[in-house]
Amino acid sequence: MLVAGGTSGIGLAVARAFANEGATVVVCGSGQAGVDAVSGAPGLVARVCDVTDRAAVAELFGWVTAEYGGLDILVNSAGLNVGNRMMANIAPEDFDRVLAVNTTGVFNCIHAALPGMRSRGEGLIVNVVSLAGRRVMELAGLPYCVSKFATSALGTFVGIEEAKNGIRVTNVYPGETNTPLVDKRPTPTPPEKRAQMVQPEDIAECVVMVAKLPARAVVPELIITPPHMMVG
């Protein structure tokens, strides 16, 4: 399996959870420092890859196929946010960068994974979206909400299109989660508030559960949120 954005936060928790289940897990991150930090961790193989670089993504997926014979599970967890995130103060280049990683990066990875999954007639794609991809949230900011709504649509569309090919797609919508993205908020979040959030390990358990289901069972959407963010 491959976890894009697997060197920190939710992606790293998912990678560790699958490694604990005995899976061979390749993780990729955009920076060498993050890759070095997890290199050598039990069950994890780490590679540098910027998911916005389509050629680099193609090279990574080609390497995974050559090294491991193919890809059965793809988890898209690469994502970012920026501090100045309102329409009143967003820099256009920051808007572009958030969409490039959060949406186009997911497209690039899915596009690279599908040919191999189609040829085998099976596969699982899990997209870590956000509750901000279902409800516009001022705290999450403009570019993040826009990117996550787009990513939600991307995953849903691919799930519908590829079901006939044996490929399952699950969009996971976490509420507030204690990850490094919280550090990007304009106002610092106190430790007691972070303790009340969903933790990355909680989401990892859900992803493992989805992966263990038989091929006849598809989970198109999964919401996991702390009690203070309940939605109806």
Catalytic residues: 144
The DSSP symbol for 188 reads P
Residues 38, 184: Cα–Cα separation, whole Å: 22
| Strand order through the sheet with 123-128 | 44-48, 25-29, 2-4, 73-76, 123-128, 167-174, 221-224
Q: How many residues in total does the chain contain?
A: 232
* Paired strand residues for 26: 2, 45
The DSSP symbol for 189 reads P
Residues 202, 224: Cα–Cα separation, whole Å: 8
Residues 20, 224: Cα–Cα separation, whole Å: 22
In 3D space, the residue among 35, 130, 33 whose CA is nearest the CA of residue 79 turns out to be: 130
